[in-house]
Chain A
């Protein structure tokens, strides 16, 4: 059974804290993605990575950074959390080798910044 695992389901952090969201996949996928989901806005791509140590900005990268030191792990970092980063964060992975690149999603991390 394929799996994308996010380290936390719920997180509460204070404004100004540095926050790490972790994502691990066990499918040997090359591509990994971080999205945030907000009501009425759907999923918006923050960053993605198509290989180890490679990253590309998505549509809303401001205030975020990422790290991909190993193929199976993709971390999202909020350098200094702000209340407007309160959201649901979804990690996904997909294979670059297959033409039909279905993305597999984690369960999501609901982050509240107070």
Chain B
């Protein structure tokens, strides 16, 4: 099956940029998703990128995809305290409907 790796923790100062990285193993992944989980809540889709794209920008969020290295990153510009959450990378395998989730990166935003 697919393996998805993320760093467990990231700490940034308010106003700085955050970069959350993810590596995966399934080269046939078609859509690659970023989910956000706030404390005590389920996961919510943040953004996604299709595998034929290198970059996608959505307001403060920038997703970069390096298919050759199977590396995905999420950049959050001007990070705010409300961005404190766990962020999950989830590639969708080429085989169909399953999403495989990474370990999640806990982002802590300090004042």
B62-105: CB near A (< 8 Å → 1, else 0) gives 00000000000000000000000000101010001111111110
Whole-angstrom CA separation of A8 from B94 in the bound complex: 34
Sorted from nearest, which 9 A-B pairs have the closest CB atoms?
A105-B42, A42-B103, A43-B101, A105-B43, A107-B42, A31-B97, A42-B104, A42-B101, A102-B45
Measured between beta carbons, the chain B residues less than 8 angstroms from A103 are: 33, 43, 45, 90, 99
Q: Which residues of A contact B (CB under 8 A)?
A: 4, 31, 33, 35, 40-45, 48, 50, 58-59, 90, 92, 94, 96, 99-108
Whole-angstrom CA separation of A104 from B35 in the bound complex: 10
In whole Å, how far is B5's beta carbon from the nearest beta carbon of chain A?
10
- Whether B88 pairs with A94 at a CB distance below 8 angstroms is no
If the complex has contacts A40-B103, A48-B98, are A101 and B88 also in contact, measured as CB distance less than 8 A?
no
**Total residues of chain B contacting the partner, CB 8 A:** 27
Interface contacts (Cβ under 8 Å), in number, total: 61
Whole-angstrom CA separation of A10 from B8 in the bound complex: 25
If the complex has contacts A43-B88, A48-B98, are A108 and B42 also in contact, measured as CB distance less than 8 A?
yes
B105, closest chain A residue (CB): A42
> What are 16 A-B residue pairs whose CB atoms fall within 8 Å in the complex?
A4-B42, A31-B97, A42-B4, A42-B6, A42-B102, A43-B88, A44-B101, A50-B97, A100-B50, A101-B97, A102-B48, A103-B43, A103-B45, A105-B35, A106-B42, A108-B42
Whole-angstrom CA separation of A33 from B98 in the bound complex: 9
Measured between beta carbons, the chain A residues less than 8 angstroms from B102 are: 42
A108, closest chain B residue (CB): B42
Contact residues, B33-49 vs A (CB, 8 A): 33, 35, 41-45, 48
